[in-house]
Amino acid sequence: MLETLTLITGVIVVVITAIGLTRTRDPLFPLTILAPMLLYVYVYSPLTRMTSGALTTVFPDTDGLMTVHVLNLLGVLAFCIGCIWHRRPSRVDNRYNVLGRELPAQTRHRMEVLAITLGLISCSVFAFLVHYTGGWFHVFSQPKPYLRAPSGYFGEMPMLSYPAIFMLAFAYQGRRLRARHWVTLSLVMIPQIIMATLGGRRGPMFLVACSYFAAWCIIHQRRPQVRTVVVGLAIVGCLMLLLQGNRGDLFRPWQGDIDTTYIEQLWSPPVVNAGDEYVVACATVVTSSKFMHHYWGLRYFATFFIRPIPRFLWPTKYEDIGLDWMRTDPGKSGIPSSQWLDSVGFVPAGGSSGGFVADLFLEFSWGSIIICFLLGLVFSTAWRRWITRGELWTLLYFEFMILSVYLVVQSLGAWLYRVIMVTVLTTAFWRWNVRKGRATVLRVPPSRPRPLEMPALSRDAN
């Protein structure tokens, strides 16, 4: 029965994606990017663990997972419906109308300088974090490199590479790219490229590939074909699977042989442990449902409103709202170890995540189905505004979609936290730069036409 529910979930994703392509006639509408990730997390990953028998090593009684798969089916269904909620407006297409001809050259130059500044900040902070963690060799000799930071916000500063590359794309829109343009586009993304290659991280690899693809679309003002998008996603997916199988050795061949047969072994028995994403999702839903352990928005409130307050101003901020575990043991979702052991018999690995559906269930119980629909509606609304308004919404939509990997694979908080940081900075820089340039154009007084001079009358006429 679990396999049947999982297959139905996959059919739902494929069918609604096809309906969305028919309704929108746009190869870049939300589900084109989200569907492959949804299929991997909620179809491929569960099926490989159930059919191989590896799941029984962690959950001897798999009948107790029925709730998990019903939740996944309903959550994914609601999310996909939300993603195709809006239709494409007829006779309106401002997707690549980013700057327009009314902007002077100095505005484009100012945007390029601003993008380079953001890229330099990203690279400088990344270099500091590598040194702070223990140096280049210490960081990238690990199977899964991780950078420590003095604070959470400082550790996210390398994310400035993404608004930087989009601002460069806007500045170069409609122009022929020369060697210095390609070098600049590469330099601002150095932190993410290093983490994707030397670090062997699948998330940065997906983000880098999608960022350059979106930048190409903006610069050339060209809509890609569906075939191009599908082939590109397939190539990125194969590369991410190679990274998963080699754990960073793909770009570090001096440390061992490259396992190029990993793609052929997709259906081989996986290694299931307490840190597996599917196992963590099942354990979270089962334990939360058994003990009625839900936060009803308090955890998100603490993440987005209490967490930004510096600790020296409010040392006991988490204790005062009853979420002291966010300071002492943030990797276990606040569920005591005794409840984990009583419900599933093990404690999930610290820092592991199981996807946005399980995360929302921990927060809102079965009300998470409604939140899943609203999340899909957010993507659909951003897509519609990208088409009808263009300009700033071009950048915001691409940032929403590129960072969506954190939503599907990790949680709503992991996605929304980064989206808020990146989009707020992007909007502020856009309003300061582009609107300032347009105001300058509007303030230039039009040239007055010279008055017409009457021709002088000849004396013969008198």
The per-residue pLDDT for 436 is: 60
Instruction: Identify the helix (H) or strand (E) that includes residue 117.
Output: helix 105-133
Q: Which residues are within 8 A (CB) of 97 and not within 5 positions of it... i.e. 6 or more apart?
A: 390, 391
Which 8-state DSSP code applies to residue 334?
T
Angle between helix 190-197 and 105-133 (nearest 10) = 40
The per-residue pLDDT for 210 is: 86
The per-residue pLDDT for 368 is: 94
The per-residue pLDDT for 445 is: 46
Indicate the pTM of the whole model: 0.82
Which 8-state DSSP code applies to residue 315?
T
Q: What token pair was written down for 60?
A: 């001897």
As averages over each run of 10 residues, the pLDDT of the chain (462 residues) reads 90 94 85 90 88 77 83 95 87 63 69 89 92 85 77 81 87 83 90 85 84 85 77 77 61 53 54 80 90 91 85 85 82 82 83 87 94 95 88 86 89 89 85 63 46 48 42
Do 71 and 281 form a contact (C-beta atoms < 8 A)? no
The per-residue pLDDT for 393 is: 87
For tokens 């959550």, the residue is 75
The per-residue pLDDT for 460 is: 45
